[in-house]
Structure 1
Amino acid sequence: MAIGLAFLKIPVTDLSRAVDFYCQGFGFTADFVSDEYGWAQLGGADIGLALYVSGKGGGDGMPGQDRDFHLLAPDLDALLAHVAPHAPAAAIATNDDGSRSLDVKDPDGNGLRIMEGV
């Protein structure tokens, strides 16, 4: 039996603001949004992303805490150009192993690291 990944969940304080940030900054689509449940499922990438308001049914994570995942994108320079108007502090780093990563903080202070790769 194979088990896959349904989506990554990110805790947020303002669902509408977070949905706008991820959709406008990264090009995700808002596939399902429920203010009542404090939950949004985003599409438009190889992996599903879910945003949730802590304590409303999606989990109890605290916004702004350390991430425990890295995302993947083929062209960090193009992604930085797209997300920079929404996250001016976003920056690309060259890591000690020669890989490159883009570090971005969302409006709640959640840190995202996006690795460059195919």
Structure 2
Amino acid sequence: MDWKIELIFVPVTDVDRAKEFYVEKLGFNADFDQRVTEELRFVQLTPPGSACSIAIGEGLGGSLAPGSLDVIQVVIPDADAVLAELRAKGVEAEGVDEQPWGRFVTLRDPDGNRWTLQQLPDYSAA
């Protein structure tokens, strides 16, 4: 039986600002944006090439404060290229942090939620 993580909630204060950042700056696909009720708005965004999406919105009942998320790690093909692309789009990204287990770029969304982007080591060379 397969278990697939398909949606992660990211707490934000301003849904439109966050959606613009993720779509315009990071290149996420805007899959869904629906105001279900006056109190509930659900927005689903998917990183390019990912099977897992993020959800932002209003009234979703998350227990995390906006800006407190710092546990998402995403695999990328080339840390140098991604860092250059992010900076060209005006994203304040840190990197490249060289470690034996990968090369890392970090960034924060407008609320301060921290993302870690990892280029995996080339295990075929070992």
The amino acid that maps onto 1:9 is F
Conservation of the 8 A alpha-carbon contact between 2:97 and 2:105 = no
Runs of 4+ in 1 over 4 A off after TM superposition: none
Match of 2:113 in 1: 110
Conservation of the 8 A alpha-carbon contact between 1:15 and 1:39 = no
What is the TM-score when the length of structure 2 is the normalising length?
A: 0.78
Match of 2:14 in 1: 14
Which runs of 5 or more residues in structure 2 are unaligned? none
| Structure number with larger C-alpha Rg | 2
* TM-superposed deviation, 1:58: 4.9
Match of 2:54 in 1: 50
Aligned length: 116
2:79 is the alignment partner of 1:80: no
After superposition, the CA RMSD in angstroms is 2.2
Conservation of the 8 A alpha-carbon contact between 2:107 and 2:116 = yes
Compared CA separation, residues 50 and 6, structure 1 to 2 (3 A): same
Matched residue SS, 1:42: strand
Deviation string 1:27-82 (CA, Å, 9 cap, x unpaired) is: 1110101245232111233132223246x025232111142231111012222222
Conservation of the 8 A alpha-carbon contact between 1:23 and 1:29 = yes
Match of 1:38 in 2: 41
